[in-house]
Amino acid sequence: MEIKGKKAVVFGGASGMGRATAELLAARGADVAVLDRPVSAGAEVAAALGGSFHPVDVTDFAATEEALATAVEALGGLHVSVTTAGGGSVKRTLGKDGPHDLDSFRRVLDLNAVATFNISRLAAVHMSRNEPEDPETTGERGVIVNTSSIAAFEGQIGQVAYSAAKAAIAGMSLTMARDLGSLGIRVVAIAPSLFETGATEKIPAERLASLVKDAAFPRRLGRPEEYAKLALAVIDNPMLNGQCLRLDAGQRFGPK
Ligand SMILES: NC(=O)c1ccc[n+]([C@@H]2O[C@H](COP(=O)([O-])OP(=O)(O)OC[C@H]3O[C@@H](n4cnc5c(N)ncnc54)[C@H](O)[C@@H]3O)[C@@H](O)[C@H]2O)c1
């Protein structure tokens, strides 16, 4: 899908990979709305790229529907939905204090899997109203980009809730792409390895170095703009659909 002139929402767009994607989309000529938590830097980020900010907690599923509708109204339509809002917890299946509690397991599923599905299904409604692009070019109505993690495939000790949630995001890609294919809407998930963002800034440098030491090349954390480049390549290329793309420098997480 040609990016110039398209309307895009970025959930989680105030920081890290979402922010870099919102900025690159704007630089390539898209109209961008940033959706993120009220406490985030979303207003400043949106103002700097000439877009609008819509505060929302994606785990409030009804509020997400409203915020998306407001963003789409401000944009005048919707062609691209990128979701990077997410996060995890650290707890083993069975720890010293007993088995993993279900409340925190569910919270991580809600924040990642349910919220991502909620945004995707609602974004699809707005996209379905678009005139398709010229069938001679792509015939598309929209593109949905979601964020998994390599922990979906090689979860480390203590990541059981996060792995399950990110595996759900990877797993829903093909099925949603099939569900939405007749409408000309594509769905792709991106599974990053360790990236240099707000999510990793508090991890000590030596711990980070040990976590990326097994990457093939480059042996360093990914940069938010490298995620953004892949997100835009996904939007640009109509043959990318129904899968989860690893963005990991050949890294495979070990158990710790
Ligand atoms: N950084 C990494 O190493 C890494 C690796 C693999 C996957 N991921 C995933 O990438 C995604 C992006 O994270 P990042 O690394 O850019 O982190 P980040 O902390 O820099 O950005 C995440 C953004 O999401 C927003 N967010 C979080 N919870 C939200 C909620 N409930 N409602 C609305 N917005 C919310 C935050 O306010 C923040 O602006 C996350 O889904 C994360 O799980 C990160």
CATH of 7-247, one of 3.50.30.30, 3.40.50.720, 3.30.1490.20, 3.30.365.10: 3.40.50.720
Q: What does pTM read for this prediction?
A: 0.98
| DSSP 8-state secondary structure symbol assigned to residue 133 | P
CA of 14 to the centre of ligand 1 (A): 9
Give the helix ranges, DSSP H, for the chain: 16-27, 42-48, 61-75, 102-109, 115-128, 160-180, 205-212, 224-236
The C-alpha atoms of residue 43 and residue 36 are separated, in whole angstroms, by 9
> What Rg value do the Cα atoms of the chain yield, rounded?
18
Alpha carbon distance 191, 197 (integer Å): 15
Q: Whose CA is nearest to atom 40 of ligand 1?
A: 86
List the beta bridge partners of residue 159.
91
Pair of tokens at residue 149: 């993690």
Question: Of all protein residues, whose CA lies closest to atom 1 belonging to ligand 1?
Answer: 195
Q: And the tokens for 169?
A: 């995001």
138: pLDDT confidence band, cut at 50, 70 and 90?
confident
Query: How remote is the CA of residue 134 from the centroid of ligand 1, in Å?
Result: 35
Q: Would you call 162 a catalytic residue per the annotation?
A: yes
Q: 219 CA to middle of ligand 1, Å?
A: 22
- Spell out the domain ranges in the chain: 7-247
Q: What is the pLDDT of residues 68-105, one digit of tens each?
A: 999 999 999 999 999 999 999 999 999 999 999 999 99
Options 105, 162, 195, 227, the catalytic residue: 162
- Span 208-251, pLDDT tens digits: 888 899 999 999 999 999 999 999 999 999 999 999 999 999 99
In three-state form (DSSP H/G/I as H, E/B as E, the rest C), the secondary structure along 167-193 is HHHHHHHHHHHHHHHHHCEEEEEEEEC
